[in-house]
Structure 1
């Protein structure tokens, strides 16, 4: 249930209607409260407000009508400008980045401000009574409407600036990079249960029960879609209640088809239809990948921007270089992080869950492979990728991570040797390759030590 609620919250954050609708509801409440206050207070009290509206019913009606009409017209203009910006970003940077623009709170607040002002003025306008009836001019309410109109003008000026800045490639890359940093901060599956060091008297984390391989039974998916979220608490609680050991066969970002194995359950004789439905309830599937628990998706967003920038139709290597810089920064942070153990324990130290985790090599492949393949003939991007590898080499802490970086450096320089026609450009790439190799050579593994030790070359 927690993961499902988080999924719906992400949908609300990525929608254009939720925040404007909430602001419109607040405008309704403000209109009724202001009119009620106008009816309750005396004219003497209102006269103490030097900025209050002091005109008649006709003037108040004309003023509120003008504000309401202009606000709904501006709201349509703002919506059109937003769609144009989203269309431009989709064609230049990639359609999967539309979610980032739709989640932009500033755009939602701007649209909500104009809608709320329109709703407020419309509701106050209907309370004004002419002299031939019971005369009533809500002076305080009209004054608030004028104040909201002035605020809306300021918001419009801010929106014009914001939308022109938000579609710049460097700004989009920085925004995606911040989301990537947030994803690394909540590395999956580090929050599933307790790690070995936190559990009292844990079993050997490197071994599954001997009978697991031939007694465990699979639990399949009941629908198709991308795995977006996993309700970790629900899985651990279910495993404790029924004394189960669960091994995840997928992770957020994987595409599942109906019947595909999601979890291996041991003991297998406890499998039944009810348990399959309970397990499926902990997995949230959707039509697209999200960055909530899928770190690779944020890496792929930067990769998509870089690959599109390197395409012949766009030919923008500077944007690709900016993406490589951000990817290198994220990989530096990832190299310094401790990859969580796939073995998760309950409060009593009992092994309950074996999760499919990420590896540094796998994420590095995701970050570099497609860019390297599309930048074979572009020495500037190849040089920046080798510079990024040299920076990351200063942060790796295991021999396998260093070997992964060396493998990518070798592939980059081989591609440049084959595809770069100018000899001078190839020499520049070779020089950066030697610098990256030198940085990686400063990593030494002692006999019996799989983590490696740093020393100055």
Structure 2
């Protein structure tokens, strides 16, 4: 349940309607509440802060019209910024733009002040020859408009920065680092012996009785965004079964694909299968909540778009490679993600194949390597990234993945038709990366 609530909250908070909608409702509430406060504390404000009835009506009417116009301008500016971001960095990166608090808050503040002023107009009326003038409410309208203008000033500055590619790459890299800290919370102890957790999950995976198992099928198409692990473990314990997750977060599943295998099948009926399927949360896009590769591929997308013939911006690609190298180095120093969950009685209940460091390395390097074959600067920076990551690689599998990427980078460069001196520089950086990997391999072997 907690996982589903977190996923729902992330969906709401990264949408473009949630914060503006909440603030607009707050504006409506204030427009109803503050005039009632005025009726209770009439005459409290000092004389220099009071206004006449005609002045109050004219002022609020002017502010309402102005704020509606300003809100339209803010929406137009946001739409232009979205179009530019989608064209330059890709539509999948709009998630980061929508999630920015300054964008949502500015739109919400402008909507809230507009609605507040419009509703406040109806409270300034004349009854039996006397005006009811909500003095506190009018003063609040002045303050709200000033706050909205300040928000627009901050918004203008932030939007100018949000459209710069290096800032987009930095934001995505921050999301990647957050996902690494969340999904790989434990740092690896260089002096500790290899953990038995990975062999344990692998042994359970390979020993899973496929003949006596049943499958839980996907109800529709979409990306697996998150899985309620705790809920599945509780369910497996109550049914006395072992579950094996076949579709990890980030995987695309089609209707009827296997999400989960259950053994023994005798203790699991159709209602249980339907309930287990609810533990999987689907969506149209991948999210980094439980999928570290999502943020990696977003950085890769920025880099690949920058290397396209229509843009030809290797500097952006180099920036993305630099940020990837820092994140991958931190990931290499973390313990592998948990793959086996047991109940209170130490009975294995759930197996999930962890996403290995080698998989993340391949996701980070493959497409950039393929698209940068003819660009010397990006090729060199990829080799420098491997050299930087290598000291943090603590196991043979990680070293092998980095070594494989270095070899493919060099092989691609040799077929790209570079001048001899450029190729010599690439080979020098390759040799440096291999030496660094050799040191890491010796450390892993010892």
TM-score by length of 2: 0.93
Q: Is the 8 A contact 2:246 2:258 kept in 1?
A: yes
Partner of 2:381: 384
State the shift of 1:134 in Å.
3.0
CA distance in 2, matches of 1:326, 1:150: 39
Partner of 2:18: 18
Partner of 1:66: 62
- Pairs within 5 Å for 1:233-312: 233-312=230-309
CA distance in 1, matches of 2:46, 2:362: 71
State the shift of 1:351 in Å.
0.6
Partner of 2:135: 139
CA distance in 1, matches of 2:165, 2:202: 45
**Partner of 1:218: helix, strand, or coil?**
strand
CA distance in 2, matches of 1:84, 1:286: 26
Is 1:431 aligned with 2:424?
no
**Partner of 1:303: helix, strand, or coil?**
helix
Is 1:4 aligned with 2:4?
yes
CA distance in 1, matches of 2:184, 2:217: 21
Q: Is the 8 A contact 1:170 1:322 kept in 2?
A: yes
State the shift of 1:400 in Å.
1.6
Is 1:30 aligned with 2:30?
yes
Number of aligned pairs?
437
Cα 1:93–1:217 change in 2 (3 A) is same
Partner of 2:45: 46
State the shift of 1:184 in Å.
0.9
CA distance in 2, matches of 1:30, 1:374: 55
Q: Is the 8 A contact 1:250 1:356 kept in 2?
A: no
State the shift of 1:205 in Å.
5.2
Unaligned runs of 5+ in 2: 187-193
Partner of 1:163: 159
Partner of 1:97: 93
CA distance in 1, matches of 2:316, 2:158: 20
**1:392-427 per-position Cα deviation (integer Å, ceiling 9, x unaligned):** 011110112111111111111111111042222111
Q: Is the 8 A contact 1:379 1:420 kept in 2?
A: no
Q: Is the 8 A contact 2:184 2:334 kept in 1?
A: no
- From the two aligned structures, give the one with the greater helix fraction: 2
Greater Cα offset, 148-157 or 359-368: 148-157
Partner of 1:452: 445
Cα 1:138–1:204 change in 2 (3 A) is closer
Greater Cα offset, 267-276 or 303-312: 267-276
Greater Cα offset, 24-33 or 387-396: 24-33
**Partner of 2:64: helix, strand, or coil?**
helix
Partner of 1:113: 109
Q: Is the 8 A contact 1:117 1:145 kept in 2?
A: yes
Q: CA RMSD in A?
A: 2.2
**Partner of 2:130: helix, strand, or coil?**
coil
**Partner of 1:419: helix, strand, or coil?**
coil
CA distance in 1, matches of 2:2, 2:215: 24
CA distance in 2, matches of 1:376, 1:440: 22
Partner of 1:193: none
The counterpart of 1:411, out of the listed 408, 411, 419, is 408
**Partner of 2:312: helix, strand, or coil?**
coil
**Partner of 1:186: helix, strand, or coil?**
helix
State the shift of 1:206 in Å.
5.2
Cα 1:105–1:204 change in 2 (3 A) is closer
TM-score by length of 1: 0.91
Q: Is the 8 A contact 2:395 2:441 kept in 1?
A: no
Unaligned runs of 5+ in 1: 191-195
Q: Is the 8 A contact 2:201 2:351 kept in 1?
A: no
**1:418-439 per-position Cα deviation (integer Å, ceiling 9, x unaligned):** 1042222111111111111111
CA distance in 1, matches of 2:195, 2:361: 27
Partner of 2:391: 394
State the shift of 1:346 in Å.
1.3
Q: Is the 8 A contact 1:64 1:142 kept in 2?
A: yes
State the shift of 1:131 in Å.
7.5
State the shift of 1:117 in Å.
0.8
CA distance in 1, matches of 2:357, 2:334: 10
Cα 1:268–1:188 change in 2 (3 A) is farther
State the shift of 1:387 in Å.
0.6
- Pairs within 5 Å for 1:205-224: 207-208=203-204, 212-224=209-221
CA distance in 2, matches of 1:253, 1:88: 27
Q: Is the 8 A contact 1:89 1:98 kept in 2?
A: yes
CA distance in 2, matches of 1:184, 1:341: 13
